[in-house]
Amino acid sequence: MTTPPAPLRVALANGSFEQPVVANVEILPDASQTQASKRVPGWLTTASDHRIELWHSGFQGVPAADGTQFAELNANEVSTLYQDLPTTPGSKLYWRLYHRGRQGDDTMALDIGAPSAPVEQRRFTDGNTAWGYYTGTYTVPAGQTLTRFAFRSISAAGGNRSVGNFLDGIFFGTAPYVVLDKTAAPTGPLEVGDVITYRIAVRNEGGGAAENLALTDVIPQGTTYLPGSLRIIDGPNAGVKSDAPGDDQAHYDSGADKVVFRLGNGAGAVDGGSLPSTETLPAGTTVEYRVTVDRAAGGGQISNTASAAYENRLGDKPEPLTSTSNEQVTQVKPAADLSVTKAADATTVTVGQTVTYRLTVRNAGPNDATGVTVTDQLPDGLAFLSADGPGSYDPATGLWRVGGLAEGAGATLVLRAKATAAGLIGNTATVTANEKDPDTTDNTDSVSVCVEPAPSCCDPCAGRN
């Protein structure tokens, strides 16, 4: 199931009453009392004194259900504890809570709706020996852009409704909504052999946490994964780096040619973790890996997107969701793998005879070559006679400008010179083009010719290799 367009994010503030920190028990101003140096953020009360009662876990033997603190519904008088949140009409909101009695069986109501007339959704009755845990959903009615989420005391053991109805671990909001933003550096155009660094920023723009979060990125066609480049840049478990399957939180799967990152709090070698919403973790988490541009990508483009799988666990059973990143497209400059082979018709001649060199130039691609030039400077002892083949040869510079050479094509160049001095004469040819050559090991070739004097003379090439 693909994540639908995100509604306006809804998420309660301070749902587990962890702020401010209290010792044992304190009755504090609610969020409306901005002049107070210490107040309870997020929550409001209908009590005339605007006071909320917070307990620390273990006080009077009562443990917190979530975190280290919890609240008592009423402090000094019977009231309603609530938050008003902007909402998108038609959106589905999830709620969950823990409820417990103080002196015995306590009962409270959950009201949700327009602030002027919230509607009772459910009543909860729990004793003082264990926390009750409850979940549910609420669909925002048409036209309702502000929604109240409220707890109202109904009854308490002992008859005093201002004593009892403990609350903790409260959530009310939208499902998780993971957004992936992918970048590539450098931006290009690149050349064959260059390295691309992909970074993917992962943020949860929803209300609830994205659970069992795993990011997968198939290595783009035309590239090769660079071993040792996996990294979690920031967010939970930043600094993790691994290439081995089953190790840490990230690995390269060579069989599927993809990288896998398990992300979020509590992520491990097998399962993904929990990524809080941007309300708690604004930057989310960021990962990176690198690839090398292959020869096959020359003259084309490299396209890549990442995807994430995660779960919404706010309801009765996990709901699988997926998200896809933006596409990154990198242009690659043309490449031409040129080679040259050089041979002489005869490797032994006498002074005055013609030395004939034959040069074969080939383009193995992957693209057409332009501006192909062979450098073949005749050494001392040889005087230029003629040159046959495509393009033109300048004996003064030794440059043979061949011109264009299609992918898979070849050209033969014939160079003739007169031997003017005896000795072992070596000659080298080198080929280049405007495009990058992904393999330069075969761009140069050499041949030696023994030039002998008159037969009555000694052998000037004796001992040659």
Question: What are 380-439's pLDDT values in tens digits?
Answer: 999 999 999 999 999 999 999 999 999 999 999 999 999 999 999 999 999 999 999 999
Shared domain check, 217 and 309:
yes
- Segment 98-153, tens digit of pLDDT: 999 999 999 999 999 999 999 999 999 999 999 999 999 999 999 999 999 999 99
Q: Which of 143, 173, 203 is the last residue of a domain?
A: 173
Q: Does 1 map to a domain?
A: no
Q: In the prediction, which pLDDT does 455 show? A: 65
> Is 163 found in the same domain as 190?
no
The whole-number pLDDT of residue 147 equals 97
pLDDT of residue 462: 57
User: Among the three residues 284, 307, 331, which one is the final residue of a domain in this structure?
Assistant: 331
Residue 349 and residue 325 share a domain? no
The residue segments making up the domain with residue 416 are: 336-452
> Could you tell me the pLDDT band of residue 280, with boundaries at 50, 70 and 90?
confident
Tell me the C-alpha distance between 88 and 9, whole Å.
9
Q: How many C-beta neighbours within 10 Å does residue 153 have?
A: 22
Residues 151 and 41 in one domain: yes
- In CATH, what number is assigned to the domain containing residue 320? 2.60.40.740
Q: Which two tokens stand for residue 163?
A: 């004593």
Nearest CA to 97 out of 2, 167, 183, 10 is that of: 167
Q: Both tokens of residue 121?
A: 């959704």
Asked if residues 365 and 421 have their Cβ atoms less than 8 Å apart, the reply is: no
13 in a domain, yes or no? no
CA distances to 191, 219, 301, 434 from 330, rounded to whole Å, are: 10, 13, 5, 20
Q: Is residue 458 part of a domain?
A: no
Position 462 in a domain: no
Per the domain annotation, does 19 fall within a domain?
A: no
What confidence score (pLDDT) does residue 271 get? Answer: 92
CATH of residue 140? 2.60.120.260
Binning pLDDT at 50, 70 and 90, where does residue 3 land?
very low
Q: How confident is the model at residue 162 (pLDDT cuts 50, 70, 90)?
A: confident
Please report whether residue 460 resides in a domain. Answer: no
Do 303 and 209 lie in one domain? The reply is: yes
Evaluate whether residue 10 is within a structural domain.
Answer: no
pLDDT of residue 269: 86
Same domain, yes or no: 374 and 240 = no
In DSSP terms, which residues pair with 20 in a beta bridge?
Answer: none
Are residues 61 and 166 both part of a single domain? yes
Averaged pLDDT of the chain: 93
Write out the H or E segment, with its range, that includes residue 218.
Answer: strand 210-218
Among candidate residues 331, 349, 378, the one where a domain is terminated = 331
How confident is the model at residue 128, as a pLDDT? 96
Clarify whether residues 291 and 235 are in a common domain: yes
247: pLDDT strictly greater than 70: no
Residue-wise pLDDT for 313-365, tens only, equals 998 889 999 999 999 999 999 999 999 999 999 999 999 999 999 999 999 99
Say whether both 236 and 287 belong to one domain.
Answer: yes
My answer on whether 395 and 414 are in the same domain is yes
For residues 327 and 340, membership in a common domain is answered with no
pTM of the model: 0.81
Q: Are 357 and 389 in contact (CB under 8 A)?
A: no
Q: Looking at the structure, tell me whether residues 393 and 251 fall in a common domain.
A: no
The tens digit of pLDDT for each residue in 20-40 reads 999 999 999 999 999 999 999
Say how many domains are in the chain: 3
Tell me whether residue 281 is in a domain.
yes
Residue 232: closest CA among 154, 287, 310 = 287
Local structure of residue 165 (DSSP, 8 states):
-
The angle formed by the CA atoms of residues 280, 284 and 290, to the nearest 5 degrees, is 170
Instruction: Give me the residue label for tokens 């400008």.
Output: 401
Q: What is the pLDDT of residue 1?
A: 42
Judged against a pLDDT cut of 50, whether residue 305 lies above it is answered with: yes
DSSP states of 95-153: EEEEEE-SSS-EEEEEEEE-TTS-EEEEEEEE-SSS-EEEEEEEEPPTT--EEEEEEEE
List, for residues 177-232, the tens digit of each pLDDT value: 999 999 999 997 999 999 999 999 999 999 999 999 999 999 999 999 999 999 99
